[in-house]
Amino acid sequence: MRKFILCLSVLWSSSLLAQYSARFVVTSVATRGNEDIYLSGTFNNWNPQDPQYKLKPFSGGRKSIVLINMAPGNYAFKFSRGQNKQETTADGRDIAERMIEINGDVSNEFVIEGWKDDYPEKPKAFTASPQVKLMDTAFAMPQLNTKRRIWIYLPKSYSGSDKKYPVLYMQDGQNLFNEKTAFAEEWGVDECLDSLQGKGVKECIVVGIDHGGSKRINEYNPYDHFQYGKGMGNEYLQFITETLKPYIDSKYRTLKGRDYTYLAGSSMGGLISWYGQLKYASVFGGGAVFSPSFWISPQIAVDAQQWDGMEMLRMYFYTGGKEEANAVNDLNKIAGIMQKKKNAQIRTVVNPLAQHSEKYWRQEFASFYIWMSNNWKE
């Protein structure tokens, strides 16, 4: 009987740890078929030219790659030839993220209809509202020995009143307000707030901090990583709390207390926003993490378990059901840990149809903002 139970236990454990292989075959390429093609996606943090994910040529002019040890789940991906050389439609338009579902060994074939650099880049429109200002093109970040562009959104009532406002600090500032500077699609934070505040929703100031380009992963990662190197997230948060926030509080009419200071971001920006709320709970009263990169380190769960803040912390957790394989489980795990805390108010949202992109974060931003602003006292 014991052997039977042991056998069942082994089989059950094996099923939980099931790993599969996925073969990606490119059967046809519209142009530049002789150049290297790479696979990028949620499994390699969307690196567009990762040598480990370069397709290998084989018979008939085809190219392929096999990924092994893939956990069951959904994965988003695209093909590229390097930075700014992603695949497109036949007429040069960006394509939606491709999706593959892994629940066994799979092999799929694909056709690449075009490449982004085969088509003249169309100028993007300047879409920032009049409420958005470029506060500084090279704001000093002494903790990281660099400089950064900083955006600021001021409510419509700001210029005609002496009122003080809550402040929301957001990562990836270039994607928040302006299509012209956005990587893929802007969040439309300014248009969203203009609309909500026109309906009587409480107003706030938003500070957008551009990311560090090639150093984005490191600056948004509080942990060292075997693949991406030294994490500089702690220095980045020191910049926000010790340099940027004091400057904003001195130059603008802000409500300086923690209950009126929030932190938000997506992907790696979501990770550092979550970590910042834990480490600087005396500075930030809460915030939002959209599709956070909780896969980066097991230390995340440890830090969540060890947090024991004395004041209320309000966190809005969001992810999509069509993101990388463990996105929903990872988010629910951390949110579940925080929900058991005495001084944590948690809201968790999972959109089963959402992918890892600005399009879906934009759709969710209004819900987060209304939830957040309801906690502000007049």
Question: What's 120's DSSP letter?
Answer: P
Task: Give the Cα separation of 45 and 354 in Å (integer).
Answer: 17
Query: Tokens at residue 116, please?
Result: 């982004």
Task: Give the Cα separation of 117 and 198 in Å (integer).
Answer: 41
Q: What is the pTM of this model?
A: 0.81
pLDDT of 3 > 60? The answer is no
Tens of pLDDT, residue by residue over 251-287, are 999 999 999 999 999 999 999 999 999 999 999 999 9
pLDDT of 7 > 50? The answer is no
> Which residues, in sequence order, are CB contacts of 31 under 8 Å at separation 6+?
114, 115, 118
Tens of pLDDT, residue by residue over 283-323, are 999 999 999 999 889 899 999 999 998 899 999 999 999 88
Q: Which residue from 225, 284, 265 is spatially nearest to 364, judged by alpha carbons? A: 265
Strands (E), 125-215: 132-141, 146-153, 167-171, 205-209
Query: Tokens at residue 146, please?
Result: 């660099």
- Residue 319, amino acid: T
Query: Tokens at residue 252, please?
Result: 């603008």
Region for 172 from its dihedrals, namely left if φ exceeds 0, alpha if ψ lies in -120 to 50, beta otherwise: left
- Is domain 132-373 in CATH 3.40.50.1820, yes or no? yes
Is residue 245 a contact partner of residue 261, using CB atoms and an 8 Å limit?
yes
Rg (CA), the chain: 22
Range(s) of the chain covered by CATH 3.40.50.1820: 132-373
For range 138-142, the mean pLDDT: 98
pLDDT of 229 > 70? The answer is yes
Strand order through the sheet with 20-29: 56-58, 62-70, 20-29, 106-112
Task: Give the Cα separation of 110 and 35 in Å (integer).
Answer: 17
Tens of pLDDT, residue by residue over 52-65, are 999 999 988 999 99
Strand order through the sheet with 98-102: 38-41, 73-80, 98-102
Range(s) of the chain covered by CATH 2.60.40.10: 18-118
Is residue 87 a contact partner of residue 32, using CB atoms and an 8 Å limit?
no
CA 350 to chain CA mean position, Å: 15
Give the percent of the chain with pLDDT over 70: 95
Residue with tokens 């002019």: 61
For range 22-36, the mean pLDDT: 94
pLDDT of 10 > 60? The answer is no
> Which residues, in sequence order, are CB contacts of 306 under 8 Å at separation 6+?
none
Q: Among positive and negative, which fits the CA dihedral 319, 324, 328, 334?
A: negative
- pLDDT averaged over the chain? 91
Is residue 57 a contact partner of residue 82, using CB atoms and an 8 Å limit?
no
For domain 18-118, give its CATH number from 2.60.40.10, 3.20.20.60, 3.40.50.300, 3.40.50.10490: 2.60.40.10
Task: Give the Cα separation of 227 and 229 in Å (integer).
Answer: 6
Is residue 166 a contact partner of residue 262, using CB atoms and an 8 Å limit?
yes
Task: Give the Cα separation of 323 and 356 in Å (integer).
Answer: 5
